[in-house]
């Protein structure tokens, strides 16, 4: 959690970059009738109390919460960021001072914060800092991955793949492609909790990077 401090300083300097793994993959297709997805889409990008309560409730399916985050959408971060709002709500829920929450090592928080919450927080933060390499999120994602519910969810692993792909955008587009292609190649290992329409959206976009792998192979 300590790296969230870095995030809040980076947010102020983000610039528009709409063509990227995080911002170009619509995961909401196939969920048009979901009440919370509809509500999130109508929120105008705001993370209000209803959405926060939904995201912090581990009784709600992880895949559904991630789809709702996708429906809220990406934005150029502001000082009053959605990441900070979620952290404040989490600190209130845990009866923990916000400064303590933000400076603690994520690994030390695993007993009181689920991997699912860590991943929701990571996704919210990544969508606010999409124009910067989100390497600072990897500590959170690593802790999230320790949760068996995260490991077996195709939706969760797709979100992790997209965040990792964003990190490699400035380095290697073949590696960008591989972050989600490996999931497709091993999809029988996961619980397929992503709609067919959203699945197709992910790979329709991510396959644009495939040529870089073939070029390297040649």
Read off the pLDDT of residues 141-198 as tens digits, 9 standing for 90 and up. Answer: 888 988 999 999 999 999 999 998 988 888 889 999 999 999 999 999 999 999 999 9
3-state secondary structure of 192: coil
User: What are the tokens at 90?
Assistant: 């989490």
Helices and strands in the chain, H and E counts: 14, 0
Instruction: Enter the pTM of the model.
Output: 0.86
Which residue in the block uniquely carries the two structure tokens 């401090």?
5
Q: Residue 189 contacts by C-beta under 8 Å, 6 or more apart in sequence?
A: none
Beta bridge partners of 153: 191
The answer to whether the beta carbons of residues 160 and 118 sit under 8 Å apart is: no
Distances (CA, A) of 19 to 25, 97, 127, 131, 171: 9, 37, 13, 10, 16
Which segments of the chain have a pLDDT < 50?
2-18, 79, 133-135, 217-218
pLDDT given at position 215: 60
pLDDT given at position 105: 84
The answer to whether the beta carbons of residues 139 and 3 sit under 8 Å apart is: yes
The answer to whether the beta carbons of residues 110 and 145 sit under 8 Å apart is: no
3-state secondary structure of 71: helix
């Amino acid at each position: 959690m300590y790296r969230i401090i870095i995030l809040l300083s980076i947010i102020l300097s983000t610039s528009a970059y709409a063509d990227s793994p995080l911002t170009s993959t619509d995961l909401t297709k196939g969920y048009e009738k979901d009440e919370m997805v509809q509500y999130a889409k109508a929120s105008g990008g705001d993370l209000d109390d209803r959405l926060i309560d939904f995201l912090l409730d581990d009784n709600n399916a992880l895949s559904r919460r991630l789809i709702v985050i996708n429906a809220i959408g990406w934005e150029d971060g502001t000082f009053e960021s959605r990441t900070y709002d979620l952290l404040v709500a989490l600190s209130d829920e845990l009866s923990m001072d916000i400064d303590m929450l933000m400076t603690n090592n994520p690994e030390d928080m695993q007993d009181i914060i689920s991997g699912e919450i860590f991943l929701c927080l990571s996704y919210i933060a990544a969508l606010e800092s999409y124009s910067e390499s989100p390497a600072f999120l990897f500590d959170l994602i690593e802790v999230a991955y320790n949760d068996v519910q995260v490991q077996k969810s195709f939706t969760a692993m797709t979100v992790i793949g997209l965040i990792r792909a964003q990190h490699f955008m400035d380095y290697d587009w073949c590696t960008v492609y591989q972050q989600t292609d490996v999931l497709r190649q091993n999809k029988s290992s996961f619980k397929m909790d992503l709609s067919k329409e959203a699945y197709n959206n992910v790979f329709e976009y991510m396959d644009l990077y495939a040529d870089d792998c073939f070029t390297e192979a040649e």
